[in-house]
Every structure is written in structure tokens, then in C-alpha cells.
Amino acid sequence: MTRYAELHCHTNYSFLDGASHPHQLVEVAAELGYTALGICDHDGFRGVVRTHVAAREVGLPIVYGTELGMPREDTMPSESPIPGPGPVILPKDADRPRRGRIHRMHGSKPVDRPITDHLVVYAADPAGYAQLSRFVTRGQFRGRKDAPDYAYEDLGEASHRGGLYALTGCHQGAVPRAAGSGDIDGAVGAASRLREVFPGRLYVELTHHGLPEDDLRNDVLAEVARRL
């Protein structure tokens, strides 16, 4: 039987992305004979405890990490909305007090989120987990809810202390995004910059979900890996 470990898995703690409870993922991974399971919920470690408890019961090794939303070089944060094509006509009851359950719980909040490059980072040991946790905490404090403010300088400092590995991420990562458009040079450039942050510990991630664009992206990513 071919040895396989899933290294890009979100629990339902990654809202609107992951769908399964941690114990469900662990049980299925064990049934399928996976050698390990990598949990990388977005911008934090919310599913770690329940994953650990479930994995301990079945003896499945878990790799702990997170998928970070790193700042893009080609975008700048903006506090003002993008101008629309014309005046907005509000409904007659637009100024009516909102009394719904969601509003009572959370109030009125902006729903826009910054455009980021996804990057998967895993801890190799407890020291690496501590470094990664410290980095995520710093970004969460510096940003706002659902929009942490990470810095590559901070990530580099955490990485160079050891114990961290990185995957180039899903199609929303800097490297796969360039690869998806056939831009080999752009993908190599993005991967080279990440390699400076994770020297000797960066891995090009290939995923295939049966979509037409997956073949092109993976072909380019394979070439990127050969050039690094």
C-alpha cells in the first residue's frame, strides 16, 4: 500500500472552508491508512485540542500548523471603500434599528477582508510550535478580527529560530497563483523569496481537485520545484 499523509486539511474551525469536525477527520484518516494528518486551520490553532484527543485514541500522528494570510506585494490596505459607479439608493427602512440575533451578538461590522497570499506553516517540534504560536498571536493583536496583520520580517525571525516548515499553499498562495496563470518566472520569484524565509525548509505543494486549471498549475509548480 502506498504511504500517504494529507498535509493540507482544515477542520470546521476554519469557517466557510473546512466542513468536518476534528474527530471525524481523524477517524477517516485512520480508516484510510494515512501515515499522518496535517491540520492547518486558518490563522490559528482552534482545532488542535480536539484533533489531538481524537488522534491519541487511534494512534494517528498529527502535524500541527496553520494556513497564514500573508500580505500581498501588489495590494495595499485601504480603510475607505472602493468608489462605486454611482449613488447608492438605500431602502426605505435602511435606518431602522437592527434587532436581529446576529446583530445583538456581533454588532455592525465591516465584512471586507484584505486580499492575502495563503501560506501553510507547520511546526516540527514543540519549540517550533511555540515560535509559530507567538508569531500568530502578534499578528492577531496587531490586526483586527478576521484580519490579522502579519509581517514577513516577523515570520523570518520565527523561522530562523528553527522548527518550522512551509508549504507554498493552495491556489491562493503567491507561488500557485503565479503558476496558475502560466507565469513560471513569477512563480520562481515568489518561491525564491519564501525560500529566504525558510531556507532548506520550503516545499512546493501540488494539489489536484479535478479542475481543468489544476493540470497547468501543477506542471508549472513542478518546474518551479526543479529550478529551486
Q: What is the pLDDT of residues 33-71, one digit of tens each?
A: 999 999 999 999 999 999 999 999 999 999 999 999 999
Report the alpha-carbon angle 160-162-165, nearest 5. Answer: 95
Which pLDDT score, from 0 to 100, does residue 112 have? 53
pLDDT digits (tens, 9 = 90+) for 137-159: 999 999 988 889 999 999 999 99
Q: How far apart are CA 58 and CA 174, in angstroms?
A: 36
Q: Please indicate whether residue 86 or residue 227 has the higher confidence score (pLDDT).
A: 227
The terminus-to-terminus CA distance of the chain in angstroms comes to: 31
Domains and CATH numbers, the chain: 1-73+114-167 (3.20.20.140), 171-200+207-227 (no CATH)
Coil, strand or helix at 194: helix
Say if residues 23 and 54 touch (Cβ distance below 8 Å): yes
More confident residue, 122 or 76: 122
Contact present, 45 and 77 (Cβ < 8 Å): no
Examine the pLDDT at 173 and tell me if it is beyond 80.
yes
Question: Which pLDDT band, with edges at 50, 70 and 90, does 13 fall under?
Answer: confident
